[in-house]
Amino acid sequence: MSGQTIISKIALGTVQFGLPYGISNTGGQTPLAEAKAILTLARSAGIQTLDTAIAYGNSEATLGALDVCGWQVITKLPEMPVTGEAAVKDWVKTQLDGSLSRLGLASVYGLLLHRPAQLNGPDGATLYRALLEEREKGRVAKIGISIYGPDELNQLPNTMGLDIVQAPFNILDQRMATSGWIARLQESDCELHVRSIFLQGLLLMQAAARPAYFSRWNALWESWESWLREARLTPLQACLRHALNTPGIAKVVLGVDNAAHLADILAAADGPPPLPTPGLAIEDPQLLNPALWNRS
């Protein structure tokens, strides 16, 4: 796969534009001027997709201030607080109205649900129809969900077709592949967008900087570091090339703190894919789910 094709698979995550985010983030929220520099470099490199959400602080407003016309923008709805057919449809419309206003756009490429479990609830069918209606109106090109793991896909009604699924995926977290869901989504023409390829920066940390919570997996870290030495790859190169070269993945969502960080990513992304990573895949949610870190 050519370098330009690889770069076009990157979607720029913009949570840092609205919130201080990530275990390895020491700089806080990205300033507006730096966000502009990031977008300028991303566009010139061939990146076409931006990922944001209503829940990402003022990320949407920041993007709107920077003029994102011409980008493929994906945003996400928060948890739905209302019930009843009329209320649900009005809520979806109002939330999307707000996103489009903040973004300065007439439509977005993707509208995802941050809480897809609500599709299984009593108002799930109405919520799904509301998303379909927005797609039919042309205000949304594709609808989908953001998940924490493949089990959430197993629970969805078969009648609810999706255009995009966003899920975590990295060298340690290969559940989307081992569950068979990468292949199933590809067969149904549903785009898979993967995030957390650095596990919020944890996979890029030096051993000395890794918080004490993660010492219970020291054997895994030793295997990871040994494999990196054998593969002659930096952690950044390994994480990027593994995700970008995995068949069936349409986009790899990457968040950056500054333009220099993005430049490092662009330089590291292009290169031969790494060899298989035997013994590194794990399914322990205490490691794979950042929401559980330091809670046990």
Mean pLDDT value of segment 16-24 = 70
Question: Whole-model pTM?
Answer: 0.94
What share of the chain in percent tops pLDDT 70?
A: 95
pLDDT, residue 3, reads: 57
pLDDT score of 50: 98
pLDDT, one tens digit per residue, over 260-284 is 999 999 999 989 888 888 889 999 9
- Per-residue pLDDT averaged across 85-91, rounded? 97
C-beta atoms surrounding 81 within 10 Å: 7
In this model, does residue 180 exceed pLDDT 50?
A: yes
Axis crossing angle, helix 32-45 with helix 259-269, rounded to the nearest 10: 20
Interatomic CA distance for residues 41 and 260, integer angstroms:
10
Q: How confident is the model at residue 120 (pLDDT cuts 50, 70, 90)?
A: very high
Q: Residue 15: which CATH number?
A: 3.20.20.100
Quote the CA–CA distance of 57 and 11 in Å, as a whole number. 19
pLDDT in tens, 96-106: 999 999 999 99
- Percent over 90 (pLDDT), the chain: 88
The pLDDT confidence band at residue 23, using thresholds 50, 70 and 90, is very low
Mean pLDDT of 194-208: 95
In this prediction, residue 4 has a pLDDT band, given cuts at 50, 70 and 90, of low
Give the residue-averaged pLDDT of 41-53: 97
**Res. 25 pLDDT band, cuts 50 70 90:** very low
pLDDT tier at 5, thresholds 50, 70, 90: confident
CA angle 180–242–267, rounded 5-degree value: 150
What is the per-residue pLDDT for 29?
86
Number of independent structural domains in the chain: 1
Query: Per the structure block, which two tokens stand in for 218?
Result: 């020291």
CB distance 111 to 143 below 8 Å: yes
The pLDDT tens digits of the residues spanning 66-76 come to 999 999 999 99
Q: How far apart are CA 84 and CA 91, in angstroms?
A: 10
User: How confident is the model at residue 273, as a pLDDT?
Assistant: 87
Sign of the CA dihedral running 19, 22, 23, 25: negative
pLDDT for the residue 1: 55
Q: Is the pLDDT of residue 151 over 70?
A: yes
pLDDT bucket at 24, cuts 50 / 70 / 90? very low
Which residue range forms the structural domain that includes residue 281?
A: 3-292
